[in-house]
Amino acid sequence: MKGTGMNQATKMAKLDENSVTAENVNFSNCDRELIQYSAAIQPHGVLLVLLEPDLRVLQASANAAAVFGLSMENLLTSNFEALIGAPQMDQLLKRLGSTKLEGSPVHLLRLDVGSKQRFHVFGHRIDGVLILELEMAGDAAAADTLDIYSELRMAISRLQATGSLDEFMNLAVEEIRAFTGFDRVMAYRFLEDGSGDVTAESLKPEFEPYLGLRYPASDIPLPSRRLFSLTWVRHLPNAYYEPIPIVPVTNPVTNGPLDLSYAFTRSVSVMYTDYLKNMGAQATLTITVLKKGHLWGLISCMNHEKPVHVQYETRMACEFLGHMISLLMDSKEESGNYRNKLKLAAAWDQLSEHMAREKDFRDGLTKHEPTVLTNMDAGGAAVVAEGGVRLLGTTPNAEQVLSLANWVATQSETVFSSDRLASLYPEAEAFQRSAAGVMGIRLTHEHPAMILWFRPELTQTVNWAGNPEKPVEVSIEGDSVRLAPRRSFELWKQSVSGRSASWERWELEAAGDLRRKIVEVVLQRAEEVSLLNRQLEQSNMELDSFAYIAAHDLKEPLRGINSFSGLLRADSALDAKSKKHLETIQTLTQRMDALIDSLLEYSKVGSMDLQLVPVDLNAIVEHVVQTIKPRLDEGNVTLRILRPLPMASCDAQLVEEVLQNLITNAAKYNDKAERWIEIGYKQQNPVTYFVRDNGIGIDPQHAEQVFQIFRRLHGRREFGGGSGAGLTITRRMIQRHGGRIWFESTPGEGSTFYFTLGPEKREL
Amino acid sequence: MTTDITQPIVIIDDSYEDVEITTELLKGLGIRQPVVHLPDGRALRSFMQNGNNDGEKTLPALILLDLNLPVVHGYDLLLEIRRVDWLRTTPVLIMSTSSNPRDIERCYAGGANSFFTKPVDFEKQRRMLSVICEYWLEYAWTAFSANNGRRS
Strand B114-117, strand B92-96: pairing: parallel
Is the distance from CB of A374 to CB of A348 less than 8 angstroms? no
Between the alpha carbon of residue A527 and those of residues A522, A534, A723, the distances in Å are 9, 10, 40
**Nearest-angstrom CA–CA distance, A732 and A537:** 16
Is the distance from CB of A703 to CB of A627 less than 8 angstroms? no
pLDDT tens digits along A263-278: 888 888 777 888 888 8
Q: Does A598 touch chain B (CB under 8 A)?
A: no
Mutate to test the interface with B, among A549, A556, A563 (most CBs of B within 10 A): A563
Q: Does A603 touch chain B (CB under 8 A)?
A: no
Distance of CA A676 to the CA centre of its chain: 68
Q: Does B17 sit within 8 Å of A552, measured CB to CB?
A: no
- The whole-number pLDDT of residue A670 equals 87
Q: Does B21 sit within 8 Å of A551, measured CB to CB?
A: no
- Give the pLDDT band of residue A36 (cuts 50, 70, 90): very low
One-letter amino acid of A410: T
Which residues of B, range 121-150, sit inside 8 Å of A by Cβ?
121-123, 125-126
- The whole-number pLDDT of residue A38 equals 52
Is the distance from CB of A60 to CB of A72 less than 8 angstroms? yes
Is the distance from CB of B79 to CB of B48 less than 8 angstroms? no
- Give the pLDDT band of residue A716 (cuts 50, 70, 90): low
Q: Is A470 helix (H, G, I), strand (E, B) or coil?
A: coil
Is the link from the previous residue into A257 a cis peptide, with omega within 30 of 0?
A: no
- The whole-number pLDDT of residue B133 equals 94
- The whole-number pLDDT of residue A724 equals 75
One-letter amino acid of A51: L
A153 against B81, higher pLDDT? B81
| Cβ neighbours for A113, distance < 8 A, ≥ 6 positions apart | A67, A68, A83, A84, A119, A134
The CA radius of gyration of chain B, in Å to the nearest whole number, is: 14
pLDDT > 80? residue B54: no
- Give the pLDDT band of residue A9 (cuts 50, 70, 90): very low
In 3D space, the residue among A354, A327, A267, A319 whose CA is nearest the CA of residue A45 turns out to be A267
**Nearest-angstrom CA–CA distance, A602 and A597:** 9
The CB density around residue A300, as the number of other CB atoms within 10 Å, is: 23
Closest residue in B to A587 (Cα) is B121
Mutate to test the interface with A, among B19, B73, B120 (most CBs of A within 10 A): B120
Strand A491-495, strand A117-126: pairing: unpaired
B97 contacts in chain A (CB < 8 Å):
551-552, 555-556
- Lowest-pLDDT range of A140-154, B63-77, B137-151: A140-154
- Give the pLDDT band of residue A11 (cuts 50, 70, 90): very low
**Nearest-angstrom CA–CA distance, B152 and B140:** 12
One-letter amino acid of A98: S
Query: Mean pLDDT highest for which of A84-88, A229-233, A477-481, B88-92?
Result: B88-92
A495 against A120, higher pLDDT? A120
| Cβ neighbours for B39, distance < 8 A, ≥ 6 positions apart | B12, B13, B14, B16
Strand A117-126, strand A106-113: pairing: antiparallel
Q: Does A589 sit within 8 Å of B97, measured CB to CB?
A: no
Q: Phi-psi region for residue A181, left (φ > 0), alpha (ψ -120 to 50) or beta?
A: left
pLDDT > 60? residue A34: no
| Of A551, A552, A567, Cβ closest to residue B24 | A567
State the sign of the Cα–Cα–Cα–Cα dihedral A111, A112, A114, A118. Answer: positive
Mutate to test the interface with B, among A553, A556, A607 (most CBs of B within 10 A): A556
**Nearest-angstrom CA–CA distance, A738 and A521:** 28
Q: Is A582 helix (H, G, I), strand (E, B) or coil?
A: helix
The CB density around residue A637, as the number of other CB atoms within 10 Å, is: 23
Instruction: Please give the share of chain A, as a percent, with pLDDT higher than 90.
Output: 21
- Give the pLDDT band of residue A444 (cuts 50, 70, 90): confident
ipTM: 0.79
- Give the pLDDT band of residue B109 (cuts 50, 70, 90): very high
One-letter amino acid of B4: D
Closest residue in B to A588 (Cα) is B121
Edge-first strand order for the sheet with A741-746 is: A637-641, A675-682, A688-693, A750-756, A741-746
Average confidence score pLDDT of chain A = 82
DSSP 8-class letter at B138? I
Mean pLDDT of the region A619-638: 89
Strand A461-465, strand A117-126: pairing: unpaired
A741 against A719, higher pLDDT? A741
| CA geometry: angle A459, A460, A463, nearest 5 deg | 80
Q: Does B15 sit within 8 Å of A551, measured CB to CB?
A: no
Q: How many CB pairs under 8 A join A and B?
A: 51
Q: Does B70 touch chain A (CB under 8 A)?
A: no
One-letter amino acid of A654: L
pLDDT tens digits along B17-28: 889 999 999 999
E-state strands within chain B: 9-12, 35-38, 62-65, 92-96, 114-117
In 3D space, the residue among B28, B25, B30, B31 whose CA is nearest the CA of residue B8 turns out to be B31
pLDDT > 80? residue A102: yes
- Give the pLDDT band of residue B70 (cuts 50, 70, 90): confident
Which residues of B, range 88-107, sit inside 8 Å of A by Cβ?
97-98, 100
**Nearest-angstrom CA–CA distance, A587 and B120:** 11
H/E segment holding residue B6: none
- The whole-number pLDDT of residue A121 equals 92
The CB density around residue A265, as the number of other CB atoms within 10 Å, is: 24
What is the model's pTM? 0.52
DSSP 8-class letter at B120? S
Between the alpha carbon of residue A305 and those of residues A263, A284, A308, A488, the distances in Å are 27, 12, 9, 19
| Residues linked to residue A753 through DSSP beta bridges, in sequence order | A691, A743
One-letter amino acid of A198: V
Q: Does A586 sit within 8 Å of B125, measured CB to CB?
A: no
- The whole-number pLDDT of residue A144 equals 61
Mean pLDDT of the region A193-200: 86
**Nearest-angstrom CA–CA distance, B3 and A755:** 57
pLDDT tens digits along A356-408: 777 777 787 888 888 888 888 889 999 888 768 889 999 999 899 988 988 88
Tell me the nearest-neighbour CA distance from A692 into chain B, angstroms. 34
**Nearest-angstrom CA–CA distance, A483 and A271:** 8
pLDDT tens digits along A642-686: 899 999 999 999 999 999 999 998 988 888 888 999 999 988 878
